[in-house]
Structure 1
Amino acid sequence: MSVILVVEDDAFIRQAALWMIEDLGHDALFAEDLAGALSHLNATAPIDALFVDIRLAKLAFGGYDVANQAVGIRPGLRILYTSGSPITAAMIDMFVDDGQFLQKPYSLEQLGVSVGRLLQ
């Protein structure tokens, strides 16, 4: 079982993602912003992956800021980005390491495939 940190500023979407991740058999942690994410990342509890919304309010680079700081704290952390906006080459260029992308809205099956690929 893996531990996935979900960083999403929309409470409804965040809760749905948490339920889906738990339905897939993983443990889920959550944060609504960078400060919450850093609190989890600086703790000693294991985190296997970060599932982060690209367009987080109050951050110049949104989820990219979270992902960049996350891998600084936990090198090798796997990143799954999500957004309601269509993916562009410019967005992909900002991904950390081998970051992957999942388009919103996503189904449980789509999330399962993405998380499975991410954790391989």
Structure 2
Amino acid sequence: MLNPMAVILVVEDEVFIRQNAEWTLEDLGHTTLLASDLGEALAHLSASVVIDALFVDMRLREMAGGGYDVANQAIALQPHLRVLYTSGTLLTADMSDRFVPGGQFLQKPYSPEQLGISMERLLN
């Protein structure tokens, strides 16, 4: 059973993928906050709301460090945050070495079921 009512920040620059993640997570009972880039993510992270998890694309356009930078800055603002990375690129050791401690990975393309299972593992 998923951790009920978690607040999850979804950072994804592809609108369709971002919306699908939002719908899936909300169908599971979570509150979602959406961002398409670092600036929008930081606005959510700097607000007074406590965010439980970050679901972030590792390869955000126009960001050299992509999701890694988002995750690192997110952890600096909310140290308890759990991070689930996603990418269409196959995961390598070089990539996972850059994860924040406890960071997990979900390969694109993923189904709503796979996202739900991965988020459950992350939150529990």
Q: TM class, shorter-chain normalised?
A: over 0.9
18, 25, 50: which one aligns with 1:21: 25
- Asked if structure 1 preserves the Cα contact closer than 8 Å seen for 2:52 and 2:80, the reply is no
Larger relative contact order (Cα-Cα within 8 Å, sequence gap ≥ 6): 2
Q: What secondary structure does 1:95 align onto? A: coil
Could you say which residue in structure 2 is the equivalent of 1:109? 113
- Percentage of pairs with the same residue: 65
State the 4+ residue runs in structure 1 displaced beyond 6 angstroms: none
Query: Alpha-carbon deviations, 1:65-119, whole Å to 9, x = none?
Result: 0000000001121000000111111110000011000001111111111000100
Using the TM superposition, give the Cα deviation of residue 34 of structure 1 relative to its aligned residue in structure 2, in angstroms: 0.1
* C-alpha distance in structure 1 between counterparts of 2:106 and 2:64, whole Å: 21
* C-alpha distance in structure 2 between counterparts of 1:4 and 1:48, whole Å: 6
Report whether the alignment pairs 1:69 with 2:73: yes
Letter in structure 1 aligned against 2:52: D
* C-alpha distance in structure 1 between counterparts of 2:6 and 2:22, whole Å: 13
**TM-score of the aligned structures, taking structure 2 as reference length:** 0.95
**TM-score of the aligned structures, taking structure 1 as reference length:** 0.98
Could you say which residue in structure 2 is the equivalent of 1:93? 97
Letter in structure 2 aligned against 1:79: V
Report whether the alignment pairs 1:31 with 2:42: no
Query: Alpha-carbon deviations, 1:25-49, whole Å to 9, x = none?
Result: 1111000000000000000012100
* C-alpha distance in structure 2 between counterparts of 1:94 and 1:33, whole Å: 19
For structure 1, which runs of at least 5 residues remain unmatched after alignment? none
RMSD: 0.6
Could you say which residue in structure 2 is the equivalent of 1:6? 10
* C-alpha distance in structure 1 between counterparts of 2:79 and 2:50, whole Å: 13
